[in-house]
A and B are shown apart, each in its own frame.
Chain A
Amino acid sequence: DAKTTQPNSMESNEEEPVHLPCNHSTISGTDYIHWYRQLPSQGPEYVIHGLTSNVNNRMASLAIAEDRKSSTLILHRATLRDAAVYYCILRDSGSTGYALNFGKGTSLLVTP
């Protein structure tokens, strides 16, 4: 799978929007962009994924650049519960396995 680059850490105030960037300049046309997050003392949990178009679900929105070389995970109103490590992962649509390459992720701190 192609590599992603994320900032090591970000900070946000509670109830404000948070934009978490991810660069994936070597993405291929068949790579899906997945986001997972890991809350303290828990296993990772799926957040959202997309291919080309922007995506929304109850947890977050995913904005994908037109050239697909970058994407942004948007938390519309950060809560203290959103403090976690966020991982941006590329998954080949032709992949036959579930080996996720997590990388280092972005540690999000949410302050009251």
Chain B
Amino acid sequence: KAGVTQTPRYLIKTRGQQVTLSCSPISGHRSVSWYQQTPGQGLQFLFEYFSETQRNKGNFPGRFSGRQFSNSRSEMNVSTLELGDSALYLCASSLAPGSGTNEQFFGPGTRLTVL
């Protein structure tokens, strides 16, 4: 069974541009979450989607948005890029909305560099 895939793996953008990252969850998984990882802040939760609906959102500005499609694939978008948005963006999938026991499966991430 294929794991979580993220595209592209690497991306270089300049300040002010926007970017769209894509995530394909494990087949059969309907919940997708996004995280940002930076050396200073570590791993921080961005948002979670299930059945095309955003269920949870982390403490990030409105420039960060996402969506989920009917096939459970998800995209996240960052508009008006800032230097501080340079990070590894990780996508994780799960079978269904969380309980305390369900595990998340992470993709390899997309490394975004903003110049």
Contacts and interface: CB of A to CB of B under 8 A. Distances in A.
Interface of A: 30-32, 34, 42-46, 49, 51, 87, 91-105
Contact of B48 (A34, A87, A99, A104): A99
Given A43-B106, A98-B56, A99-B48, A31 B100 contact: yes
A93 B99 contact: yes
Given A97-B55, A98-B31, A98-B48, A44 B43 contact: yes
Contact of A32 (B97, B101, B104): B101
- Size category of the B interface is 20 to 34
Contacts of A92: 100
Given A98-B48, A98-B56, A43 B90 contact: yes
Most buried by B among A44, A49, A87, A102: A44
Contacts of B103: 34, 46, 49
Given A43-B106, A43-B109, A98 B101 contact: no
5 contacts: A43-B4, A51-B100, A93-B99, A99-B45, A102-B44
Contacts of B16: none
B42 A97 contact: no
